[in-house]
């Protein structure tokens, strides 16, 4: 199980082989990953054969392509049956990979499809990192049209709450940044507000991006959407995020899933703008992707634009995100894109 093995301990998979074989394997896993062990050309056939069946810690159950080939979504399946989803999204100047940190999620946000299905288990560091390696291998063999030919950004915005799986997420960050050599600044951890996790991440050596999924500016409203808010209320989260911003010296983002008649009022827009200004944060607004178990609906395209205009008129930095992969949505309500710096799209 190469990706489940600590990258510093790959020699344990190659008993009796000289040390440089482990270094070669490490390059094939992390520097220039390949989809199939048979492509690891400088390794002896017998080693390739030995790792062929266990190269990936999951099988590919489904691969869906949308947006004229610029969006690819995978449903991976671990041997124990756990589902792992990842989405690759190509843009003119970057390619963002959205990865999962848990199978299912225990946070139970009312509007989120993953939350509605409950928690299955944490993903291991190897399972998290392998999603990045798989996408890197895929894009080498199948370039996305009109986009860079490499994964430029990684966001922990797939299934699960990364900061509720801290130890494994931390180790995956180490592998992605220190072993794969991705720039920490191109990696973003998104959290619903696990306060102790934000504080721990603040102490880590990497300048990774932090996104707080805010969705409401009032504790009473936020509690109805995000149960965890009862434990870690908004003011405490804002303080922790402000500290993160100070210590890392980089802008944080606030995620706002817009729901018709719930959090799309003028008052919420004004208060969101004032929080964003206080934090010097970038606001990403996205229209709700409706899920089967929630009655909530997205606002009209015009209402969404108006909301964003109010936030912008206050002087805050805000982007209305386009929703990707509408036609391959299937089971996943939340795999969406929220990176700063893309042209504003209109949902729907």
Angle at CA of residue 75, ends 72 and 78, nearest 5°: 145
Q: Which of 11, 348, 342, 343 shows the shortest CA–CA distance to 155?
A: 342
Residue 332 catalytic?
A: yes
Q: Least CB distance from residue 335 to ligand SAH, whole Å?
A: 8
Tokens representing 48? 């390739």
Q: Which of 85, 120, 127, 268 is catalytic?
A: 85
Residues 35 and 37: their CA atoms lie apart, in Å, by 7
Shorter beta-carbon distance to ligand SAH: residue 112 or 135:
112
Q: Which of residues 24 and 253 has its CB atom nearest to ligand SAH in the complex?
A: 253
Residue whose pair of structure tokens reads 């990497």 in the numeric block:
206
- Give the whole-angstrom CA distance, residue 286 versus residue 144: 24
Residues 6+ apart with CB under 8 A from 218: 234, 268, 271
Closer CB to ligand SAH, 95 or 226, in the complex = 226
* Interatomic CA distance for residues 321 and 336, integer angstroms: 9
Alpha carbon distance 5, 178 (integer Å):
16
Output the DSSP codes for 96-129: EEE--SEEE-SS--TT-HHHHH-EEEEPPHHHHH
Tokens of 227: 């149960």
Which residue among the candidates 105, 127, 332, 342 is catalytic per the annotation?
332
Q: Are strands 282-287 and 119-122 parallel, antiparallel or unpaired?
A: unpaired
Residue 203 appears among annotated catalytic residues:
no
Residue 123's nearest CA partner among 112, 111, 114 is 114
The site for ligand SAH (CB under 6 A) is made up of: 111-113, 157, 161, 190-192, 213, 255, 257, 286, 288-289, 291, 333-334, 336
Q: Which residues are catalytic?
A: 85, 332
């Amino acid at each position: 199980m190469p990706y489940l093995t600590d990258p510093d301990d790959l020699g344990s998979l190659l008993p009796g082989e000289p040390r440089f074989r482990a270094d070669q394997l490490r390059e094939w896993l992390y520097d220039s990953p390949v989809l199939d062990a048979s492509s690891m050309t400088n390794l002896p056939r017998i080693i390739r054969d030995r790792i062929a069946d266990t190269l990936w810690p999951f099988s590919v159950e489904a691969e869906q392509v949308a947006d004229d080939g610029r969006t690819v979504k995978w449903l991976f399946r671990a041997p124990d049956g756990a589902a792992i989803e990842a989405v690759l999204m190509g843009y003119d100047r970057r390619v963002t990979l959205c990865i999962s940190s848990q199978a299912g999620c225990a946070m139970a946000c009312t509007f989120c499809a993953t939350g509605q299905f409950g928690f299955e288990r944490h993903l291991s560091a190897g399972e998290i990192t392998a999603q990045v390696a798989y996408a890197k291998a895929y894009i080498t063999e199948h370039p996305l049209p009109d986009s860079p030919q490499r994964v430029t950004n990684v966001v922990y915005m797939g299934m699960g709450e990364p900061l509720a799986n801290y130890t494994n997420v931390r180790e995956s960050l180490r592998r992605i940044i220190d072993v794969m050599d991705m720039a920490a600044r191109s990696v973003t951890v998104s959290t619903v507000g696990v306060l102790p996790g934000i504080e721990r991440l603040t102490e880590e050596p990497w300048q990774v991006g932090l996104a707080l999924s805010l969705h409401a500016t009032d504790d009473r409203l936020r509690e109805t959407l995000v149960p965890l808010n009862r434990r870690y209320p908004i003011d405490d989260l804002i303080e922790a995020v402000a500290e993160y911003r100070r210590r890392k010296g980089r802008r944080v983002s606030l995620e706002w899933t817009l729901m018709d008649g719930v959090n799309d009022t003028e008052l919420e827009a004004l208060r969101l703008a004032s929080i964003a200004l206080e934090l010097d944060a970038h606001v990403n607004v996205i229209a709700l992707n409706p899920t089967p178990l929630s009655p909530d609906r997205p606002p009209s395209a015009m209402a969404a634009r108006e909301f964003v205009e109010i936030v912008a008129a206050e002087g805050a930095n805000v982007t209305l995100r386009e929703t990707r992969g509408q036609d391959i949505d299937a089971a996943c309500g939340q795999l969406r894109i929220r990176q700063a710096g893309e042209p504003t799209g209109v949902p729907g």
